Amino acid sequence: MNKVGAIGWPIEHSLSPVMHNAAFQALGMHDWFYDKIAIPPDIVKLSLRELRDHDYIGINVTVPHKQAVMPYVKADAVAKAIGAVNTIDFRDNTGTNTDCAGFMDDLAANGIKAAGETVVVLGAGGAARAAVYGLAQAGARILIVNRTMRAPNI
């Protein structure tokens, strides 16, 4: 069995297992299984080791763990620049962030060019970090609007 999943706290609401397992079945990948694993913030390091030891191939990472997992994986350049990992491959203990590529690919698919444009980003959470990085790389001018100064370094 090829095991993959998502970690977060809370994670009970996640529909990722339903979507991924349906896709696995539709693609004939009957030996794949996607799970959701609730991990309290104070045991992230131990939990990563446990998942690796229990033959998980990789995981998606969601709140509040995207920054907390970084010291325990070999983060690629994109994850380092964003300051957050959302995908871990246990086969080589690497971490990346796919949020930026997903956001920028969606803009491109809809014919939206960010270069030279002024873009307003509402919020300063984890997804905003990835969006801001992608927009900056594309040459956009960025204005971040947030309720608080909770993320002043974004």
Domain membership of residue 118 as a residue range: 100-145
Is residue 76 in a domain?
Answer: yes
The pTM assigned to this predicted structure is 0.89
36 is catalytic: no
Cα angle: 95, vertex 56, 20; to 5 degrees: 85
The reply to whether 84 and 37 lie within a common domain is: yes
The reply to whether 32 and 105 lie within a common domain is: no
Residue 51, pLDDT score: 98
Q: What percent of the chain has pLDDT over 90?
A: 92
Task: Give CA–CA dist 151/146, Å, rounded.
Answer: 9
For residue 80, what is the DSSP state?
Answer: H
Question: Does pLDDT of 139 surpass 90?
Answer: yes
What is the total count of domains within the chain? 2
Average pLDDT over residues 109-118: 98
Is residue 153 in a domain?
Answer: no
Q: Tell me how many helices (H) and strands (E) the chain has.
A: 5, 8
The reply to whether 70 and 135 lie within a common domain is: no
For residue 139, what is the DSSP state?
Answer: T
Catalytic option among 3, 36, 66, 80: 66
Is residue 154 in a domain?
Answer: no
The reply to whether 61 and 116 lie within a common domain is: no
64 upstream amide cis, omega within 30 of 0: yes
For residue 35, what is the DSSP state?
Answer: E
Q: What percent of the chain has pLDDT over 70?
A: 97
pLDDT digits (tens, 9 = 90+) for 42-89: 999 999 999 999 999 999 999 999 999 999 999 999 999 999 999 999
Task: Report the chain's mean pLDDT, rounded to a whole number.
Answer: 96
User: Identity (one letter) of the amino acid at 36?
Assistant: K
Is residue 117 in a domain?
Answer: yes
The reply to whether 13 and 86 lie within a common domain is: yes
The reply to whether 90 and 104 lie within a common domain is: no
The reply to whether 91 and 15 lie within a common domain is: yes
For residue 3, what is the DSSP state?
Answer: E
The reply to whether 55 and 68 lie within a common domain is: yes
CATH number, domain of 89, equals 3.40.50.10860
